[in-house]
Amino acid sequence: MAKRKTIDGELGEERVTRRSTRGRTVKEEVVDEEMIVEKVKAKDTVKTKGMAVKKSPIKDEESESKEEVKKTETLPAKTNGTAPSAPGERQHWLLKAEPESRLEKGHDVKFSIDDLAAKSVPEPWDGIRSYAARNNLRAMKKGDLAFFYHSSCKTPAIVGVMEIVQEHSPDLTAQDPKAAYYDPKDTDPSNPRWSVVHVEFREKFSNPLTLRELKDMQGSWKEISEMQLLKQSRLSVTGVTGGEWEFLMSVIKKREKGDVKEEM
C-alpha cells in the first residue's frame, strides 16, 4: 500500500508509503527489509508517513510503557475477529486507506487499491496511530490475507485483497517531524511506539462490496452480524473471522460472475 501518489515521481527509488488509518498513506522510501532493519536499529528517520488512526497523543511515555503496555498495548483489538488462531491457519483482516486526496501536514495521504496494485515491492502499511489498530498489526502473521477497504470517500467499500508478506516492524515515520503522522511522543529509540506490516496486492474486485451493502446484509445474515468493522467503525485495522471472510468472498465472487448482485 501505499503511498500516495508517488507513482510517478520517482521511480528509481521507489518509495513507498502507506497508509493509515484514515487515510492512507504516504510515501516514503521504499525500503526493503534490510533497510528497514537498519533503520530500525539505527536511525530514526523515515520519512513517510502514515496516518492512520491517529490517536492522540497519548500519555507520556511512561505511562505508555507501563499501563499502556498492559492494557492497550497488548490486546488485539477487541474481540472481533481477529483471527483464527489455529496454528498454521491464515488469519484475516481488513485495512482501511483513503482513496481520495487529503492533506495531512502538507502530505497527500491518498492511497487506493490501484496505488497498491502499482507497487513492485512490498508496501509498508504505516501511519497507524491507534493502539487497538496497532495491536492488530502486531498480531498479523506472514501469509495472512486482508481486505483493502476504501474509507472517507464517496463510496466506502471493500475493494480488494492483499497479503501480509512481512510481519510487524517499527513505524519510523512516527519519528519524522515532517511526516504526515508524526508522533512527538514516540521518542524512545529502544521502544518504538508504532508498527507497520508490509503487504502486497493480490486482487481488486470488479464489483466492490460497499459499506452500505454490508450494513444492509448485517441484519439478515448472521455470518457478518458481529463484524468488527461494523461494530467499531472508527478502527482502521480490524479482524475478520474465517467465517466472515468466507461468507464475504463468496458474496463478492458470486456477484463478479455474472455480475448478479445478489443482494442479500
Partner DNA sequence: GCCAACGTTGGC
Find the shortest distance in angstroms from Cβ 9 to DNA.
25
Binding residue for DNA, selected from 91, 166, 175, 236, defined by CB under 7 A: 236
| Terminal Cα distance for the chain, rounded | 30
Binding residue for DNA, selected from 9, 57, 177, 189, defined by CB under 7 A: 57
Q: Do 199 and 1 form a contact (C-beta atoms < 8 A)?
A: yes
Please list, in sequence order, all residues whose beta carbon lies within 8 angstroms of the beta carbon of residue 239, skipping any fewer than 6 positions away.
Answer: 76, 77, 79, 80, 81, 82, 83, 91, 92, 93, 94, 136, 139, 228
C-alpha 81/C-alpha 22 separation (Å) is 20
Only one of the segments 56-64, 112-120, 167-175, 239-247 lies at the binding site for DNA (rule: CB under 7 A); that segment is 56-64
Q: Do 131 and 68 form a contact (C-beta atoms < 8 A)?
A: yes
Task: State yes or no: residue 166 binds DNA (CB under 7 A).
Answer: no
Task: State yes or no: residue 19 binds DNA (CB under 7 A).
Answer: no
C-alpha 97/C-alpha 23 separation (Å) is 5
Q: Do 175 and 187 form a contact (C-beta atoms < 8 A)?
A: yes
Binding residue for DNA, selected from 58, 118, 165, 249, defined by CB under 7 A: 58
Judged by CB under 7 A, the chain residues 95 through 124 that form the site for DNA are 96
Is the CB of 15 or the CB of 22 nearer to DNA?
22
C-alpha cell at 70: 498492559
Question: Which residue type does 42 have?
Answer: A
Only one of the segments 16-24, 84-92, 198-206, 248-256 lies at the binding site for DNA (rule: CB under 7 A); that segment is 16-24
Is the CB of 36 or the CB of 180 nearer to DNA?
180
C-alpha cell at 40: 530500525
Only one of the segments 34-42, 151-159, 241-249, 252-260 lies at the binding site for DNA (rule: CB under 7 A); that segment is 151-159
Task: State yes or no: residue 187 binds DNA (CB under 7 A).
Answer: no
List residues binding DNA (CB under 7 A): 21-23, 51, 53-59, 72, 96, 130-132, 151-153, 156, 211-212, 215, 231-236
